[in-house]
A and B are shown apart, each in its own frame.
Chain A
Amino acid sequence: MPAAPVRVGLFVTCLVDLFRPSVGFAAVKLLEAAGCTVEVPALQTCCGQPAYNSGDKASTKAIARQVIDAFDGFDYVVVPSGSCGGMIKEHYVELFADEPAMFQRVQHLAKRTYELVSFLSDVRGVDKVAARYPGVVTYHDSCSGLRELGVKAQPRKLLGGVDGLTLTELPGAEICCGFGGTFCIKYPEISDKMVADKAADIAATGADTLLAGDLGCLLNMAGKLARLGKSVRVRHVAEVLAGMTEETPPIGAPEGTR
């Protein structure tokens, strides 16, 4: 273990908090195994992206201030999502560009914030996780994680070391799944076609498992695969890396399934 113990504040994300706490617990397990102490500030709710992408800067700033305050003092802020991670790391700085007084605090937060898998791999130097997952896995690159935070090689590297796991590349892995947060609410028909195309690409790999690093994408893809009657198991990559797949059914699957 190369690095010293660090104090991590976990930014849970609203989707993980509401839909799938297991992802949060998987993140905690991985972080603790990597030598971090993990706290979960109670004052967090959302990163503010829905308001930001709807053009409501005032509400976004109010929510962002809350995040900045809540995560003061941690060595790192880790997020099991590329999209929320990108919001804090890349967009908060833009948001407060017109408030010099906030600039230092926002910059400081941005520097300390990481998406989960890239934190484990790039900052904590984790090369291999002690997990087992017998299955053929394909991986979808969530857009913000990929393009804003450079998350691409890291999940593949760590998945490659999971016992029993075979990784098969998803053609068009970098193509958007159509979730887009507010987009799927505003343009559901277009969103549905985009996820239908994604589901076809996934089915064509022959994989029995789909993983990604963002719960929004996962809910979207799982929902479509289920409606199409496909038996692909969908999980957040943290669940597999933390070896916690026995404890919860895959996303969208009935209770009791593994």
Chain B
Amino acid sequence: MQPTSHSFKANAHQALGNANLQKALGLMRQGFPAKRLATIARLPEFEALREEGKAIKDHVLDNLDFYLETFEKNVLARGGKVHWCRTPQEARDAVLGICRALDAKTVTKGKSMIAEEIALNDYLEANHIEPIETDLGEYIIQIRKEYPSHIIAPAIHLVKEQVAQSFRETHKDLDPKRVLDEAPTLVAEARTILREKFLAADVGITGANFCIAETGSTIIVTNEGNGDLTQTLTKAHIVLASLEKIVPTLEDVSTILRLLARSATGQEFSTYTTVSTGPRRPEDTDGPGELHVVFLDNGRSAMLGTEFQDMLRCIRCGACMNHCPVYATVGGHAYGWVYPGPMGAVLTPTLVGVEEAGHLPNASTFCGRCESVCPMKIPLPRMMRHWREREFEKKLSPATYRAGLAVWAYFAQRPALYRAAAAIATRVLGYVGRKRGRFRSLPLAAGWTQGRDMPAPEGRSFQSLWAERRKQGKAA
């Protein structure tokens, strides 16, 4: 997917004017945080689990090569294969190779952000293989030819009516007069359509929430069971995962799983948590004929040892974007690529470059809510600031902004000059504004005064008044 992050402001402008999106975001803004709070209120050890989860992931990142090799050894021991891919192209080719070897015509897919990152669907279609999304949200956006706006709930930007309309336009064989007002009806319709596709698919592709080194297993969590059907019925199950998904043991993964669903949706556990280890064995009643784990690097190993390493602790729960006031205003598409919200603001410049994605770490008030809800205690605002430091060094921010800042910094380092300038500015603005107490418009502040009044200053600076009173005090 070609990033449009450089157009963040224009994207955001569009988003602000999109009534359906604003309605959908309003619901999200209330829903997720409340559910999460209610669930973690029932778990006294939640804070302790966050510390443990962070420690587990930090340990893995310090020993990533060891755990990846252990994982590979165990996958091979179970009869699976591991493909190490440095770039999106290598990953796409690995997947295509597996599909071609099996003469695959259709591929079912569980939700995978890595698949989005490498733009897998377009590549498969270009090679005459039909990918079918089985996660309901992904299915909806696939038929609408959109991309996900949230890493957990890909279609969260849509309201029910839009989904119903898309179903009518796509499922043309069904009765046009049928009622599609209720969510359960929409879900049932999707299930029926997808059921046949599951049974016909040649290859199933899923992501992995975790890859467990100890056993060579991969784990996916779903609420629909679509992942299970995707990976069990086919000739081959392909797992797409980035390097940092690795976790040492089953014990460790259960610690992190206790954090995941609670942080993501406020569920205590996802409806289905599926652990798969190796391809079908002779004594198994079902399972894929082949098991392939396609590992993608795409810049992850380059983050190790840098100020962005902590971002590799991310378990893709989505809590940060659920709680972000900026995301709640503009939605995920405004961010212009695969990963939106606070985690996207940190990760996207790593993956597509800060020249392309520079707006993302800038479009934050640093309110810190993301960091406060991150189950892995990732210091998101700090890393966004690091991006701003990189941009400053490279002079990537607009010239007018940098100039304004330079003027401010100049005065701030010269207190006497600052006080003199402040005395003038406050007197002028205070005098002009004293009748109404505020300005409806102000030169150089059009962005502010477009939608808000600007309160007038009181007319004298505190320092000048303080100095005056002290003098009077001394004289008295």
The answer to whether B364 touches A183 (Cβ under 8 A) is yes
Q: What's the Cα separation between A144 and B365 when bound, in Å?
A: 10
Q: What's the Cα separation between A44 and B408 when bound, in Å?
A: 14
The answer to whether B448 touches A45 (Cβ under 8 A) is no
Produce 1/0 per residue, B347-386, CB < 8 A to A. 0000000000000001111111101100000000010010
B47 at the interface (CB under 8 A from A): no
The answer to whether A45 touches B418 (Cβ under 8 A) is yes
Q: What's the Cα separation between A230 and B75 when bound, in Å?
A: 65
Contact status of A249 and B437, CB under 8 A, knowing A21-B461, A190-B329: yes
Q: What's the Cα separation between A63 and B406 when bound, in Å?
A: 12
The answer to whether A227 touches B412 (Cβ under 8 A) is no
The answer to whether B455 touches A53 (Cβ under 8 A) is no
The answer to whether A185 touches B401 (Cβ under 8 A) is yes
> Least Cβ distance of B97 to chain A in Å?
43
The answer to whether A43 touches B438 (Cβ under 8 A) is no
Residue among A12, A190, A252 with most chain B CB within 10 A = A190
Across-interface contacts of B402 in A (CB, < 8 A): 54
Tell me whether chain A's interface is mostly helix, strand or loop, or mixed. Answer: helix
Residue among B364, B367, B391 with most chain A CB within 10 A = B367
Across-interface contacts of B9 in A (CB, < 8 A): 187, 189
Across-interface contacts of B426 in A (CB, < 8 A): 18-19
Q: What's the Cα separation between A16 and B436 when bound, in Å?
A: 20
The answer to whether B461 touches A222 (Cβ under 8 A) is no
The answer to whether B453 touches A187 (Cβ under 8 A) is no
B326 at the interface (CB under 8 A from A): yes
Tally B residues with Cβ within 8 Å of A: 67
Indicate which residue in B413, B448, B463 contacts A40 across the interface (CB closer than 8 Å).
Answer: B463
The answer to whether B365 touches A24 (Cβ under 8 A) is no
The answer to whether B326 touches A190 (Cβ under 8 A) is yes
What residue in chain A is nearest B379 (Cβ atoms)? A94
The answer to whether B462 touches A12 (Cβ under 8 A) is yes
Across-interface contacts of A175 in B (CB, < 8 A): 325, 369
A75 at the interface (CB under 8 A from B): no
Stretch at the interface among A29-37, A100-108, A193-201, A203-211: A193-201
Across-interface contacts of B458 in A (CB, < 8 A): 19-22, 248
Across-interface contacts of B368 in A (CB, < 8 A): 143-144, 147-148
What residue in chain A is nearest B396 (Cβ atoms)? A55
> Least Cβ distance of B12 to chain A in Å?
6
**5 pairs, A vs B, C-beta closer than 8 Å:** A21-B461, A25-B462, A42-B467, A174-B369, A226-B452
* 19 additional contacts (CB under 8 A) given A147-B369, A180-B366, A190-B16: A18-B426, A19-B426, A21-B458, A51-B409, A52-B385, A55-B385, A56-B405, A63-B413, A175-B325, A176-B367, A183-B366, A187-B363, A195-B452, A219-B454, A224-B451, A227-B451, A248-B458, A252-B453, A252-B456
